[in-house]
Amino acid sequence: MTALEVHLARRPVGVPSLDDFAFVEITPPALGPGEVRVRNHVMSVDPYMRGRMNDVKSYAPPFPLGAPMEGGAVGDIVESTVDSLPVGTFVLHNAGWRSEVVLPGAAVVEVDPSLPLGAYLGVLGMPGLTAYAGLLDVAEFQPGDTVFVSAAAGAVGAVVGQIARLRGAKRVIGSAGSAEKVRYLLDELGFDAAFNYKDDRVVKQLAAAAPEGIEVYFDNVGGEHLEAALSVLNVHGRIAVCGMISQYNATEPNPAPRNLIQIVSKRLTVRGLLVRDHADRRADFLREVGAWVRSGELRYTETVVDGLRNAPSAFLSLLEGGNTGKMLVRLI
Ligand code: NAP
Ligand code: FER
């Protein structure tokens, strides 16, 4: 029996393409002591993977060429030499992009398979914790704040907007890249206002949606969105800088927001965020957001692509906004 892996075949310049990936059949290694064999059921594609395809020093090392890519995945153990992880245990780990993998027991975390497995990669996983810690700790959200979040119909953004609503925001505003996503934010997620950033200048649409300004901007996008938020933020406003997806495929340095002087005049706080720094909030996050998910007060959706051979196209689609909610690849 062979296993299938998706390797990084070459480093993309600009927008990645399917030719940057290679499918490689391997003979799975035998199991050593202290190891488990995991058969992946579902894997995540995430925007940060675009950064790791570049050969640059960053917060995470580049993916090596000619080796499987990495990323969050959930599977079941099919062979084990670890007493505490018997065959049949479902686990979360970071060895996605392959049909099966041998890992040390310490590299996997048991999960409860009575929940939908994709939730561990989305609303109750890394993107959910990013939203929770980013909004509450990094942006120091307070009840009564007006909150603006970009990429609002995505994995992180949809959770940010709903936590803000459930924690007593005065007004929650989201931007997204299609009329359908705008309707989803308004009709399904309870946003107070939403706009399609492709319809008109962001600053114009944001100012119209926020006649009294905003206290918090949760930035997933950067660029024109960040410049618009700087203009519309109120005095002592806060920005959590979570990501800048509008720039991930850039081949030239990006123009800065032209209005950074607003940071001075409005005494703004601008703070970057990496989810790894917020592991101490995981228990609070799972308790609070888990309860909202169970009660149905916080909704989530997933865009699921079938088959490991379609993982590269799922990733390319994510970068172009082909997802509503969390983008996942189902392997089994
Ligand atoms: P996501 O929002 O589910 O998917 C990415 C979305 O970005 C797409 O659906 C697309 O939606 C939007 N997008 C793509 N190009 C854009 C552009 N030029 N302008 C505006 N929007 C664009 O992904 P996610 O996993 O939740 O991540 C969202 C952001 O959070 C990313 O910036 C990511 O890097 C960041 N993040 C950071 C951390 C951290 O620890 N700092 C952790 C997780 C995620 P549209 O249809 O709306 O364009
Ligand atoms: C992202 C997902 C995760 C991202 C950054 C992270 C900036 C960082 C995670 C960590 O290492 O803590 O999309 O984009």
Q: Which atom of ligand 1 is nearest to the CA of 243?
A: 32
Question: Whole-prediction pTM value?
Answer: 0.98
**Is 276 a pocket residue for ligand 2 (Cβ < 6 Å)?**
yes
Ligand 1 pocket, CB under 6 A? 46-48, 127, 130, 151, 153-157, 176-178, 181, 197, 220-221, 242-243, 245-246, 273-275, 318-319, 321, 323, 327
**Rounded CA separation 313/330 (Å):** 13
Q: How far apart are CA 209 and CA 227, in angstroms?
A: 16
Could you state, in order of their start, the residue ranges of all structural domains in the chain?
A: 3-122+300-330, 126-276
Could you tell me the distance, in angstroms and rounded to a whole number, from the CA of residue 83 to the centre of ligand 2?
A: 33
Angle at 329 between CA 130 and CA 35, to 5 degrees: 80
- Which amino acid is located at 33 in the chain? P
Q: If you search the block for the tokens 């049909």, which residue do you land on?
A: 99
Fold assignment, 3-122+300-330: Quinone Oxidoreductase; Chain A, domain 1 (3.90.180)
Identify the CATH number of the domain defined by range 126-276.
3.40.50.720
Looking at residue 187, its amino acid is D
Task: Note whether 3-122+300-330 and 126-276 share their fold.
Answer: no
Q: Tell me how far apart the 2 most distant CA atoms of the chain are, in Å.
A: 65
Provide the residue-wise pLDDT of the chain in tens; the chain has 332 residues.
899 999 999 999 999 999 999 999 999 999 999 999 999 999 999 999 999 999 999 999 999 999 999 999 999 999 999 999 999 999 999 999 999 999 999 999 999 999 999 999 999 999 999 999 999 999 999 999 999 999 999 999 999 999 999 999 999 999 999 999 999 999 999 999 999 999 999 999 999 999 999 999 999 999 999 999 999 999 999 999 999 999 999 999 888 899 999 999 999 999 999 999 999 999 999 999 999 999 999 999 999 999 999 999 999 999 999 999 999 999 99
Question: Using CA atoms, how far apart are residues 180 and 301, in angstroms rounded to an integer?
Answer: 14
Q: What are the backbone angles phi and psi of residue 249, rounded to the nearest 5°? A: -100, 10
Per DSSP, the chain holds a count of helices (H) and strands (E) of 9, 15
Instruction: For the chain, give the number of residues.
Output: 332
